[in-house]
Amino acid sequence: MERNNMKAWLYLLPAILFLGAFLVYPLIDVFIYSFEEGYNSASQTYHGVGLYNYSYVLHDPYFLQAVKNTFILVIFTVPISTGLALLISAGLNSIKKLKELFQTVFFLPYVTNTLAVGLVFMILFKKTPYSDGLMNLILGLFGMGPVDFIDGPYWAKMFVLCFYTVWVVMPFKILILTSALASVKQDYYNAAKIDGTSRLRTFTRITLPMISPSLFYLIITGFIGAFKAYSDAVALFGTNLNAAEMNTIVGYVYDMLYGNSGGYPSYASAAAIILFSIVLTITCINLLISRKHVHYS
């Protein structure tokens, strides 16, 4: 094949321009912003270089609240959604009738607008002067008092946020796990059956090791996704998340950039870099653990 250097770069030019302007340059710039002290976005000047932005962010009570919320969200939603998805995928894989219908239905939340459906969840959980809302009605059947899940106590709000997050992330997990389970060779199961292996043992000794790469992929992406949670919270509690005590780290970044307390790209950058140091650390820990437990064939 003849070399056509010029022509090839010409074909790549649009991609390089877009990626350079909106992905590479911003990545470098965000580090620079985070070290520029007292940056003024109107005059584009700053008066020093240092770690002040980081220290400001780390002492900001709103940021600490956001970190707390994000960690709670991650700790609850990642194990619950992964476990539930595993259970449902195993169920899906063991049936023949209606399998495709169930699969299609389960995938539906993936394509819907997070903001729009969040509004429905808000209505289901909200307690207003006119009505206690559907969820409270159900709680009432079990003899529990009405709770305002949207403007009420912290843990009630956190519960709705976790519930909605799980609802939103399930389709992707079910999809990946179902195809992983379907790709396990039937031979292994047949062999186990001949030996009279119990279901539980078959599951822990055959199924889990065979799907462990997909499972760990989901856990890692699940952690990353949950740390970046934001739109779900907005959908449920509105744009003023600080007032609702439901802000997330990403929400804090955006608020710093624009919004009620906005106009501070330096603080936003520092917060974003702190977030991604956390994500990177957790991902590395995950990878280290996975090395011990994941079987790549």
Instruction: State yes or no: residue 132 binds other proteins (CB under 8 A).
Output: yes
CA-to-CA distance for 283 and 219, rounded, in angstroms?
Answer: 9
Nearer to other proteins, 182 or 292 (CB): 182
Q: Which is nearer to other proteins, 62 or 171 (CB)?
A: 171
Residue with the two structure tokens 């856990």:
219
Window 180-219: residues binding other proteins (CB under 8 A): none
Q: How far is the CB of 29 from other proteins (least distance, A)?
A: 4
Q: Rounded to whole angstroms, how far apart are CA atoms 77 and 75?
A: 6
Shortest distance (Å) from residue 122 CB to other proteins: 8
In the shown chain, the binding pattern of residues 212 to 251 toward other proteins, with x for contact by CB under 8 A and - for none, equals ---------x--xx--x-xx--x---xx----------x-
Residues 145, 81: Cα–Cα separation, whole Å: 27
| 3-class SS of residue 228 | coil
Region of 73-81, 170-178, 186-194, 287-295 interacting with other proteins (CB under 8 A): 170-178
- Residue 19 CB, shortest distance to other proteins, in Å, is 5
Is 257 among the residues that bind other proteins (CB under 8 A)? yes
Spell out, one character per residue from 76 to 115, where the chain touches other proteins: x when CB under 8 A holds, - when not.
-----------xx--xx-xx--x---xxxxxxxxxxxxxx
Alpha carbons 84 and 229: distance in angstroms, whole number? 19
For residues 78 and 176, which CB has a smaller minimum distance to other proteins in the complex?
176
Binding of other proteins by 176 (CB under 8 A): yes
How many residues bind other proteins (CB under 8 A)? The answer is 90
Q: What are phi and psi of 285, to 5 degrees?
A: -60, -45
Least distance from other proteins to the Cβ atom of residue 94, Å: 6
Instruction: Collect contacts of 293-297 with beta carbons under 8 A, ≥24 apart.
Output: 293/212, 293/216, 294/212, 294/213, 294/215, 294/216, 295/209, 295/210, 295/212, 295/213, 296/213
Q: Contact with other proteins (CB under 8 A): which of 80, 156, 175, 294?
A: 175
Contacts 24+ apart (CB under 8 A), 292-295: 293/212, 293/216, 294/212, 294/213, 294/215, 294/216, 295/209, 295/210, 295/212, 295/213
Q: Which residue has the tokens 């600490």?
A: 64
Which residue of 46, 71, 167, 216 would you call a contact of other proteins, by CB under 8 A?
A: 167
Name residues contacting other proteins, limited to 112-131 (CB under 8 A).
112-117, 119-121, 123-124, 128, 130-131
CA 114 to chain centre: 13
Q: Which stretch binds other proteins (CB under 8 A): 53-61, 73-81, 147-155, 271-279?
A: 271-279
Q: Cα(137)–Cα(245) distance, rounded to whole angstroms? A: 26
Nearest distance from C-beta of residue 42 to other proteins, angstroms: 10
